[in-house]
Amino acid sequence: MTDNTTRVALVTGGSGGIGRAVVERLARDGFAVGVHYAGNKARADETVAAVTAAGGRAVAVAGDVADEHAMTDAFDAVEREFGGLDVVVNTAGIMLLSPIATLDLADLDRMHRTNIRGTFVVSQQAARRIRSGGAIINFSTSVTRLRFPAYGAYVASKAAVEGMTLILARELRGRDITVNAVAPGPTATPLFLDGKDQTTIDDLAATAPLERLGTPQDIAETVAFLAGPARWINGQTLYANGGLA
């Protein structure tokens, strides 16, 4: 167990994509990191091993983000291992695309359970536990501005994330805890690339002034900024999208 001077982070969805990049970036900044996963223990263990091999400290914790009992256990495990909690980054989310007129409402419910209820449950635990000087960082999407067709239900869930994030920042007045959301643009992760043909991917990459897709590492840098030096940024949504919106 580390002492209480060590900065400690918990990253939900931390076993792959943006989440893994965030874990590795925070570990390089000296954080001890809880790597949360929902179903893929092997991938979470690989992430922990990568952090450990680089000289960092990490532990894998499991649970459905929308299950308050499972997340209570996950938060407890991180606190037991590292002695406290300073930063919570909630990257866990799902994206199911369809025009609103033809969306299967079961998909709507799945997204809302993970993206809205899951963010709420994680934020609730974070608000109860994070030490003074800490940060809560949730995830939205730049599509709230870009308004791509077929993203209606996903955007609805992420607009809810933005709303609860900005209110929580105000509810934590006096505790020296920042609460912000990161809204990535098109980023080269399996979540984004799945189901898209190469022409669509190339067109999206060319749209941003920087003429490329974002990388998980690009987004992780934004998170590291909010988790560390950005103490005067609070109650905001930061759009990390290369100038796309």
The pLDDT averaged over each successive group of 10 residues in the chain (245 residues) is 72 95 98 96 97 98 98 98 98 95 98 98 98 98 92 97 98 98 91 80 88 95 97 97 89
pLDDT value of residue 197: 84
pLDDT value of residue 3: 46
Where are the chain's structural domains? 8-186+216-239
The per-residue DSSP string of the chain comes to ---TTS-EEEEETTTSHHHHHHHHHHHHTT-EEEEEESS-HHHHHHHHHHHHHTT-EEEEEE--TT-HHHHHHHHHHHHHHHS---EEEE---------GGG--HHHHHHHIIIIIIHHHHHHHHHHHHPPTT-EEEEE--THHHH--TT-HHHHHHHHHHHHHHHHHHHHTTTS--EEEEEEE-SB-SHHHHTT--HHHHHHHHHHSTT-S-B-HHHHHHHHHHHHTT-TT--S-EEEESTT--
- Sign, CA dihedral 19-25-27-30, equals negative
Q: How far is CA 89 from CA 35, 83, 93, 118, in A?
A: 10, 18, 12, 12
pLDDT value of residue 58: 98
pLDDT value of residue 2: 40
Query: Any catalytic annotation for residue 37?
Result: no
One of 37, 151, 154, 239 is an active-site residue; which one? Answer: 154
What topology does CATH give the domain 8-186+216-239? Rossmann fold (3.40.50)
How much is the pTM?
0.94
